[in-house]
């Protein structure tokens, strides 16, 4: 039997159906969490439809973006089918059931590879889930994969990954920021609805700024760090990267709370953060004077000033505030962070897990000490080695008092300065980063210049405060370049995420910056 020749009408019908299907999936990967929840609840779409839309998006575009290190598509589809079956049978589902997500690859995921972007953990399979991931799994969120990062979260560009360079979806010749660059790029490129990142000195907020998405760093202790591969234990915090403010509130509510496995997690009450959007109270805002001094790009400065004017228009009370200790935040941060990292990374010795020179029968390994040295020398990258050396030096006898202890004292002064400011203001604002995304390779060989990318974010981690970066405009850094996003940073008092979300939502409702998508 021969196949029937396709008529013109058949062909037109097939092409039309293909277009409908294509448009259908395009609509799905552009959904926010709230929109997806509504469509899933109404049974307009299935979790399998939604998951397939994002898998297709990743397969089509991620070869150019390189946001993902590990893909978990088979597990994702299996999970989606289970959720659809439960929904049909009328079983109770979690609040994030069927929502596709991505997770930064320094957050442990049971039976799924977790590398921290480092060769020393290249084939490490986690034996348990991080608390945040377990919560999201229990709520039915679907993992699409693990995202790229600077090795052990040390970097501001995601160029320090041992495996690949992630590109900025707005311009693939530029960095996405770091260290959560993979997560931010994945959300910006609509390769997931939301992602988790970690923030030690700005690693959620800075890439959110560079990629034109929302990045929220909660108060230290608001979200469990259990299962997060540590960089600086007194600074690290997990948080959401999303397409809009409402989604950030939804994810934060899900992952916040006390965890018996993390003694630094807080008992502080977890609110329904979306309720803060209904508040009609006037917000008193302090503009941080030092964030507009020398070093900020003129176009970025103008964009932030335009955002401030918009906040004035909607009734916010705005006044300048000076935080002189900001000048010392960067050196204090790097002394403390590198000191903590040198201690945290001492566990990677090639014996219990991770890369081992001895297992590879290296000719250089003659004894146990050699095994330690060679495993670490071959397993760690440049930035991690630099960090360990800097931290070990600062903690060594004869230098501890001069460096580490002095930095710890200045950290206390920085905290006190913020607390004084919050006696007068509800929120503090300024730019998230002094520039837009820079070109790949532009700063990687100059660590000091790279460190300056975090100059506006590190003080917040030192103080342990919550802060959010939201899109507030676009600029062209060069005449023939693409337009690049600019982020506005909103800082709140301890455990006052409601206030920064309220202000962020107020601004977002008056603008449409979050609705712009990169052309990829």
What is the structure's pLDDT at 4? 34
Is 278 one of the annotated active-site residues of the chain?
Answer: no
Question: Residue 350: its pLDDT value, please?
Answer: 85
Tens of pLDDT, residues 89-142? 999 999 999 999 999 999 999 999 999 999 999 999 999 999 999 999 999 999
Let me know if 179 is a catalytic residue.
Answer: yes
Give every CB contact of residue 35 below 8 A, 6+ residues apart in sequence: none
258 or 364: which leads in pLDDT: 258
CB-based contacts of 442, cutoff 8 Å, min separation 6? none
Q: What is the mean pLDDT of residues 8-12?
A: 44
Comparison of pLDDT for 26 and 436, the residue scoring more: 436
Residue 444 CA to residue 447 CA, distance in Å, equals 7
Residue 11 has pLDDT above 50, yes or no: no
Catalytic residue among 39, 52, 104, 146: 104
* Confidence tier at 8 by pLDDT (50, 70, 90): very low
pLDDT recorded at residue 480: 80
pLDDT of residue 291: 97
Measured distance CA(77)–CA(50) in Å, rounded? 10
Tell whether the model's pLDDT for residue 364 goes beyond 60.
Answer: yes
Q: What confidence score (pLDDT) does residue 354 get?
A: 83
Q: Mean pLDDT across the chain, nearest whole number?
A: 93
Q: State the average pLDDT over residues 479-484.
A: 87
For the question of residue 453 being annotated catalytic, the response is no
The whole-model pTM stands at 0.93
Tell me the CA distances in angstroms from 452 to 29, 166, 186, 296, 501, one per residue in order.
Answer: 35, 20, 25, 10, 27
The answer to whether the CB of 50 falls within 8 A of the CB of 98 is yes
Which pLDDT tens digit goes with each residue over 289-311? 999 998 999 999 999 999 999 99
pLDDT at site 20: 44
Rounded average pLDDT over 228-239: 98
pLDDT at 318: 97
What's the pLDDT at 367?
A: 86
- Count CA atoms within 13 Å of residue 127 on its CB side: 1
Mapping DSSP onto H, E and C, the string for 121-179 reads HCCCECCCCCHHHHHHHHCCCEEEEEECCCHHHCCCCCCCCCCCCCCECCECCECCCCC
Please determine, for residue 405, whether its predicted confidence score (pLDDT) is greater than 70.
yes
Three-state DSSP class for residue 246? helix
More confident residue, 363 or 156: 156
CB 489 within 8 A of CB 432: yes
Which of the residues 157, 179, 224, 342 is marked catalytic?
Answer: 179
* Higher per-residue pLDDT: 362 or 365: 365
Low-confidence winner among 82-91, 350-359, 373-382 (lowest mean pLDDT): 350-359
What is the pLDDT confidence band of residue 9, given thresholds at 50, 70 and 90? very low
Q: Are 219 and 446 in contact (CB under 8 A)?
A: no
| The CATH number fitting domain 24-321+432-515, selected from 3.90.1300.10, 3.30.70.270, 3.30.1490.480, 3.30.1330.10 | 3.90.1300.10
pLDDT band at 329 (very low <50, low <70, confident <90, very high): very high
Q: Which two tokens stand for residue 11?
A: 């062909």
pLDDT over threshold 50, residue 30: yes
CA distance 159 to 148: 10
Give the residue-averaged pLDDT of 465-474.
98
Q: Is the pLDDT of residue 21 over 50?
A: yes
Diameter of the chain measured on Cα atoms: 89
DSSP string for 352-403:
SSS--TTTTT-TT--SHHHHHHHHHHHHS-HHHHHHHHHHHHHHSTTTIIII
Q: Is the dihedral of CA 213, 214, 220, 225 positive or negative?
A: negative
Q: Taking 80 as the threshold, does the pLDDT of residue 12 lie above it?
A: no
- Averaged pLDDT, 243-248: 98
Which position among 161, 203, 254, 339 bears the catalytic label?
203
pLDDT of 362 strictly over 70: no
Mean local confidence (pLDDT), 441-468: 94
Percent of the residues in the chain that have a pLDDT greater than 70, as a whole number: 94
Tens of pLDDT, residue by residue over 482-499, are: 899 999 999 999 999 999
CA separation for the pair 253, 236 (Å, rounded)? 19
The H-assigned helical ranges of 152-297 are 181-188, 205-211, 245-255
pLDDT of 462 > 80? The answer is yes
- Classify residue 290 by its DSSP letter: G
pLDDT at 19: 43
Beta strand pairing call for 194-198 and 238-242: antiparallel
pLDDT score, position 477: 87
Q: Is a pLDDT exceeding 90 seen at residue 18? A: no
Q: What is the mean pLDDT of residues 311-325?
A: 97
| Percent of all residues in the chain with a pLDDT value above 90, rounded to a whole number | 85
At 479 the pLDDT is 79
């Amino acid at each position: 039997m021969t196949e029937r020749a396709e008529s013109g009408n058949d062909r037109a019908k097939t092409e039309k159906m293909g277009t409908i299907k294509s448009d259908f999936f395009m609509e799905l990967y552009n959904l926010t969490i709230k929109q997806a929840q509504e469509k899933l609840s109404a049974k307009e779409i299935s979790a399998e439809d939604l998951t397939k839309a994002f898998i297709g998006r990743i397969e089509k575009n991620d070869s150019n973006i390189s946001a993902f290190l590990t893909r978990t598509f088979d597990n994702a589809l299996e999970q989606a089918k289970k959720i659809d079956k439960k929904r049909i049978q009328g079983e109770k589902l979690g609040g994030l059931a069927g929502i596709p997500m991505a997770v930064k690859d320094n957050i442990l995921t049971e039976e799924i590879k977790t590398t921290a972007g480092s060769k020393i953990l290249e084939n490490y399979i986690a034996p348990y889930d991080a608390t945040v991931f377990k919560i999201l799994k229990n709520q039915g969120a679907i993992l699409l994969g693990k995202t790229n990062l600077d090795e052990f979260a040390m970097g501001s560009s995601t160029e320090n990954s041992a495996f690949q360079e992630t590109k900025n979806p707005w311009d693939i010749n530029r960095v996405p920021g770091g260290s959560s660059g993979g997560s931010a790029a994945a959300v910006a490129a609509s390769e997931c609805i939301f992602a988790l990142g970690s923030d030690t000195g700005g690693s959620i907020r800075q890439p959110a700024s560079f990629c034109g998405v929302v990045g929220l760093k909660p108060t230290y202790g608001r979200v469990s760090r259990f299962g997060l591969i540590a960089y600086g234990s007194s600074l690290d915090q997990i948080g959401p990267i999303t397409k809009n403010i409402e989604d950030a509130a939804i994810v934060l509510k899900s992952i916040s709370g006390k965890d018996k496995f993390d003694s630094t997690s807080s008992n502080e009450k977890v609110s329904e953060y979306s309720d803060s959007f209904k508040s009609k109270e006037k917000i008193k805002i302090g503009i941080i004077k030092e964030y507009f001094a020398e070093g900020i790009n003129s176009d970025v400065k103008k964009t932030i000033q335009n955002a401030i004017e918009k906040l004035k228009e909607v009734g916010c009370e705005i006044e300048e505030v000076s935080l002189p200790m900001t000048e010392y935040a960067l050196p204090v941060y790097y002394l403390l962070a590198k000191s903590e990292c040198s201690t945290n990374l001492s566990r990677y010795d090639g014996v219990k897990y991770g890369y081992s020179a001895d297992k590879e029968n290296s000719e250089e390994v003659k004894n146990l000490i050699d095994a330690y040295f060679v495993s670490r020398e071959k397993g760690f990258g440049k930035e991690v080695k630099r960090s360990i050396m800097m931290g070990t030096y600062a903690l060594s006898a004869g230098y501890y008092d001069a460096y580490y202890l002095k930095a710890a004292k200045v950290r206390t002064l920085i905290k006190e300065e913020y607390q004084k400011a919050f006696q007068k203001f509800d929120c503090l604002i300024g730019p998230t980063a002094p520039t837009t995304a820079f070109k790949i390779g532009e700063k990687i060989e100059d660590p000091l210049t790279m460190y300056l990318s975090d100059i506006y974010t590190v003080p917040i981690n030192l103080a342990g405060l919550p802060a959010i970066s939201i899109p507030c405009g676009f600029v062209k850094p060069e005449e023939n370049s693409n337009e690049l996003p600019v982020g506005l940073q909103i800082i709140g008092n301890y455990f006052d995420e409601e206030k920064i979300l309220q202000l962020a939502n107020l601004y977002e409702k008056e603008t449409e910056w979050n609705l712009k998508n990169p052309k990829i």
